[in-house]
Each structure stands twice: as C-alpha cells, then as structure tokens.
Structure 1
Amino acid sequence: MSLPRYKVTMLALSLGIASTIVGCSSNPSKKDIDLGPKASEQTYYDSAQQALTKGQYVEATKNLQAIDTYYPTGPHAEQAQLDLIYVKFQQKDYPAVLAATDRFIRLNPESPDLEYAYYAKGVANMEQNYDGIIRYTSLKQSHRDVNYLKIAYQDFVDFIKRYPSSQYAVDAAQRMKFIGQELAEHEMEAARFNVERKAWVAAIERSQWVVEHYPATPQIPEALATIVYGYEQLGDADTAKQYIDVLKLNYPNLVKANGTVDLDAARHKGTWVNRATLGIFGRSNVVHDSQERSLTNRVSFGLLDKQNQAQPVVQEEKPKRSLTNRVSFGLLDKQDQAQPVVQEEKPKRSWTNRLSFGLMDKPKNQ
C-alpha cells in the first residue's frame, strides 16, 4: 500500500532537515578546531615573561596556558604552572589560584617549589570573601561565614608542619594568629546571640570553646565574663564564683563592687547609633579599633579622608601597597614611604622574585 503524496512530501522534508543538522554538527567551524601550537615553547615562554614584566596578565595567562597545553613535559612547563599561580593572584582570582596550586602539587610532588604552592593555597583561602564594603565599615569577617578562614588555618598548619624552616613560615604563623582572633570573635558573636535569647548553656559552651582553643586572643576577657554571667543566670553561684575569682586576678575592672560581672564593660559595647549604622556614626568602644576615624571617612564608607581610617588589617600609610604587602597584612615587602615614585620602565623580574611575591632575588633599579 503506497503512502499518500502529502505524507511522502513531509517524510522527505524531515529527512532533509535531519541530514542538514547532522551535517552541520559533524563539520564544526574552523574556530572550534585546535590546530596545535602556533609557536615554540621558548617563544611562548619569552612572550609570557615580557607580558608579566609589563603587567599584562591576560596576555601572560594566554601564553602560559599554551605552554601547559602543548608542552606539558617541556623544560618550562613547571615554571609556567608557578607563573600561572602568580598571575591569578594578581588578578585576584582566588578560586583559580586554588585550582592552580592543587594541580601543581599533584603534578610536581618532588618539586623544590612545593612550599610556595602550599603557602599560596593558604593565602588564597584566607583572601576569599575579604573584599567589598566590609573593609570600610566596622563589620568584621567574623560576623559572616568563616569556613574559608577555617580552611586557611588548616592550610597554614599543614604548611608549617611540612616546612617549619621555610621563608614563608613566619608569615604563615602571623596569619594563623590573625585567623585565630577572627574565629574567636565568630564564637563570641554566637555567644552574644545566645545571651540575647537567654540560651545560657549555649552561651557558656561557646565562651568556653574560646577559652580552651583561643587562649591568646583579645576575646578572652569577654568569654570569661560571659561564662560568669551565664552561670549567674542559671543560679549556679559556686561555679560563677570560681570564674569571678579568675576575673579578679586577671581583669578586675570587669567585676562590679557587689561581686557580679560587668558584661557590658567586657564587651566594650558601642552606642546604639554606632551599631545601627554599621560603625558610621556614634561612638565605638571596640578594643581593636586602632585609630579614630573621621566623620567624612565613616560617611563615605572609607572612600574619603583615608589618612585617619582604621583598617581591618595592619595599618599602613604608604602611597602604594604591593600584592605581597597586602596579602601579608603589612608584614612583608614594606615600601619606604619617602621613596619617590619614578615613572620609568620596570626592571625585569626573575621567576624567583615573582613566585616569592618579591621576597627573593629583587631586581636592581636601572
């Protein structure tokens, strides 16, 4: 039995359309075809080094990735991977830094530059979520999610265990100290919340965690005071008395004349105006505010009148801070404030200088 003419026509059209689609998919455009390397490994490497010297990080990335793709076993492959870590730091692409460090560690287990990769991994985790308006208000990282800080802390612990005599070990220890303070403040934020909702046991547990795990942080006085306050509210006078005795020996100003704890004094609590405006207006009594910020600075969220700004990290008064100085919170690569800025061609930096964030093999001024 033959098909009606209109059905034969529809079938022919369907087959024609299907064959066209298949033909297009099997013949991709030339743009999608990788024709292989367009230059030698040495040419790619030289171009990458020139781009790095000029600060052209997109161009440098393109050449370094070409080496990684086309010459994975070449003499410049390992150095290209290290330079990619540096470039991603300069671009503030910290997830890409983590991917690059993990890949370098996996592919180069015997490399003498492994310590750099492990150190960079911790710094990248620490830098995540540290940008934005939080830098210009009294809000701290501890008021938000601290998972990246916890990961960074463990990264630095592993790094110091592996390389205790590394040139980065001192900076890693300083970072661990800073992170410990942030984690302690995070715990105290939870303790304050539990005090407000009268969850005394939870507030005590959070505060005891700070005392046990972060004993060298500035949050210890408030943690002890919160423990005392919690036991007082629970009616456990004996336990509260034990902690009151500790406060009298170490922080007598936190004990009132009637023998009870002064929790507000332990918190260094600012005015309600200061808290409601995220530190822009009003008086703040936070102990780690190193400088008084001007009204102009606070109203502009730190964009104006920066000379009196209290930074959330180590205060630096320099015309320009390098990447090393910024990621190390002012501990490394300090620049002389009186040094004039000369507009001239930058001297060529060696790979050792770049992978060490400028700490080693510094180029001489020409």
Structure 2
Amino acid sequence: MSAQHVTSAQRGSTVEARGGRAWRALRLVASVTVLALPLAGCGTGALWDKFLAKDETYKDEPADKLYNEGLYLLNQSKDPKAASKKFEEVDRQHPYSDWARKALLMSAYAYYEAGDYDSCIGSATRYVTLHPGSPDAAYAQYLIAASHYDQIPDVSRDQGRTEKAMAALEEVSRKYPTSEYATSAKKKLEGARDQLAGKEMSVGRYYLEKRDYTAAINRFKTVVTRYQTTRHVEEALARLTEAYMAIGIVGEAQTAAAVLGHNFPDSRWYKDAYNLVKSGGLEPSENQGSYISKAFRKFGLG
C-alpha cells in the first residue's frame, strides 16, 4: 500500500502549532520570573546569562511543514527511515495537535516500508491505544498484523512469531470485519495457518523416520483436526494411514485413506494411501466415529 492510501491520515487544513506556542509562552513566563529576582553573588551574572541564552534545542518547526517533509521523503525520496523521523518529530514538537495523530500513523507505515517491524508495531499499537475510534484504527491494527506476518520464519524454526501474526490478524477481522483490511487479513491468516501446519508436518516426518509412530501420529492428527483447509492435509492423511498401519491400528488407517480418497480423489497421496491399505489385504473404509471423520464433517469437508 502506498502512502496515498492512508487518506484520512493526510487530510485536514493547517492547524496552529499549539505545542510550540505553549512552550514559547512558558519560556516567556520563566524569563519574566528571573528578571524579578535580585542579583546575589558574583556568580549569579554568569548563571543569568546562561539561562537567558537562546536555546536552539527547542526551536519548533510548523507541524504541517514537518509532516509534508515526511511525505516528501516517503514518496519522492523513497527514504522511509528518514520519513519516519520527520513524522516522529511532529509528535514530539506538537503532541496534542491533529497533525500529531496523522503523523503517528504515517510513522508506523514508514517504519513498515523500511522493514523496521518492531518500530512499526510500537507506533501502530500506540495509535490504536490513543485513537481507537479513528477511521484509520483498522489500518493501524493491520500494520501490526502485517509486521508480524512478514517476520514468519521457515518451518525449521520456532513459530512463536507465526502465532503472534495469527492473533493480530484475527484481531483485524474481529474488530473491523467490514473494513477493507479484513479480507487481506483473512488471506494472510490462511498463510499463517499453512505455516503452522507445515511445522507440524516437518516434526511428524522426523518422528516417522525414527519409527516413533505415536509421536508422529500426534503431529499429523493436529494437522487433520486443526488445519483441514491447508495444503498439508492431504499428506497428513496419507502419513496417518502409514503410521496406523505400522502399529496395527488398521481401522484408523482405513478411515484416513477413505477420507483422503473422498475429499482428494485425484491426489497422489491418495494413491499411496490406497496402495498401502491394499497391501495389507484391506480396503479404505470410513469409520464415522473416528476423530478423522468427525474433523472433516465439522468443516463440511467429509
């Protein structure tokens, strides 16, 4: 998504920089107060001069100027990291302005574009917390989810980040079901589910090779009962057929093969499962009381 899509974050007329005005007023009051104090001691003059010296650190810039500079860096210079700093400066110098609210969301987007996902999550979370009723809150929540999703590791590694991505994506769909981001969140959610199923399959194959059939079955069972809509379910059913045949629980092996054949008749995994059952002098046959059969009926797949 380009920065132009965050339309409500960029709308609005120029507002007066209230934070800067308040700070200058505070400095004026402080100066008047100091002028009313009597001089005492030879060291006071140096202290006085230091206090009254012009402090460039707190020289404010107009909020709209900072914001537009951030947009330029993001869209024209293609420097999202520098843009994020400009947007953050709006919030620092003008914390209670409308520009600060807009800049907070844009800083989250700029961080996302820069690949700084943790900073994106931080800014977007702050936006949702401070402005839960904003029309752009749905997009901020989506940025949180997308940041987690883009960090999903391969199946050989811990999938904690995948689980965080799923939770954040589900939050988008739950809180903002009619938003334009809900559809995209659902698609990413399926991708995250597929990743978790892939992890289960990877571990299950490992146990199968080690002939630890019970441990392998538990992994393949998770795929069948929790991730029926992923691309891994066909292999999971075939592997269940293999594992159950190996330990002599032929009824479950027959059911796994039958459910596989019913739902994926053209699958190469069904051919393997069918031949395996036939090699034992049996036929695929579904036991309606099996957890395998129940899992598929629950999702209308059986």
Distance 1:241 1:50 in 2: 64
Distance 2:237 2:162 in 1: 24
Counterparts of residues 262-301 of structure 1 (less than 5 Å): none
- Alignment-derived partner of residue 113 in structure 1: 136
In the TM superposition, structure 1's runs of 4+ consecutive aligned residues that sit over 4 Å from their partners are none
- Alignment-derived partner of residue 271 in structure 2: 253
Please tell me whether residue 46 in structure 1 is matched to residue 68 in structure 2. Answer: yes
**Aligned partner of 1:101: which letter?**
A
Q: Are 2:176 and 2:182, in contact at CA under 8 Å, matched by a contact in 1?
A: yes
CA shift in 2, pair 1:129/1:172, >3 Å: closer
Distance 2:71 2:251 in 1: 69
- Alignment-derived partner of residue 100 in structure 2: 77
Q: Are 2:152 and 2:159, in contact at CA under 8 Å, matched by a contact in 1?
A: no
Distance 1:177 1:129 in 2: 13
Q: Which has the higher contact order (CA 8 A, sep 6+)?
A: 1
The root-mean-square deviation of aligned C-alpha atoms, in Å, is 2.1
Match of 2:149 among 118, 126, 129: 126
Give the drift of 1:156. 1.1
Give the drift of 1:162. 1.0
**Aligned partner of 2:57: which letter?**
L
Distance 2:177 2:87 in 1: 31
Q: Secondary structure at the match of 2:275?
A: coil
Counterparts of residues 1-366 of structure 1 (less than 5 Å): 35-54=57-76, 55-129=78-152, 141-249=154-262, 250-251=264-265, 252-254=270-272, 255-256=274-275, 259-260=278-279
CA shift in 2, pair 1:38/1:129, >3 Å: same
Distance 2:232 2:56 in 1: 58
Distance 1:125 1:101 in 2: 12
Q: Are 2:81 and 2:111, in contact at CA under 8 Å, matched by a contact in 1?
A: no
TM-score by length of 2: 0.67
Distance 1:220 1:62 in 2: 46
- Alignment-derived partner of residue 7 in structure 1: none
**Aligned partner of 1:43: which letter?**
K
Q: Secondary structure at the match of 1:101?
A: helix
Structure 2 residue ranges without an equivalent (≥5): 1-54, 281-302
Q: Are 2:60 and 2:93, in contact at CA under 8 Å, matched by a contact in 1?
A: no
CA shift in 2, pair 1:72/1:83, >3 Å: same
Give the drift of 1:203. 0.8
| 1:147-206 deviation digits (Å, cap 9, x = unpaired) | 212111111111111111111121111111222211111110010011112211111111
Identity over aligned pairs, percent: 25
CA shift in 2, pair 1:57/1:245, >3 Å: closer
Q: Secondary structure at the match of 2:95?
A: coil
Q: Secondary structure at the match of 2:58?
A: coil
Q: Are 2:142 and 2:185, in contact at CA under 8 Å, matched by a contact in 1?
A: yes
Aligned residue pair count: 219
| 1:61-113 deviation digits (Å, cap 9, x = unpaired) | 33212111121101201010011011111211111111111111122122221
Q: Are 2:221 and 2:236, in contact at CA under 8 Å, matched by a contact in 1?
A: yes
Distance 2:241 2:79 in 1: 58
Q: Secondary structure at the match of 2:195?
A: helix
CA shift in 2, pair 1:196/1:226, >3 Å: same
- Structure having the higher helix fraction is 2
Q: Greater shift after overlay, 197-206 or 117-126?
A: 197-206
Distance 1:142 1:68 in 2: 40
Distance 1:224 1:192 in 2: 13
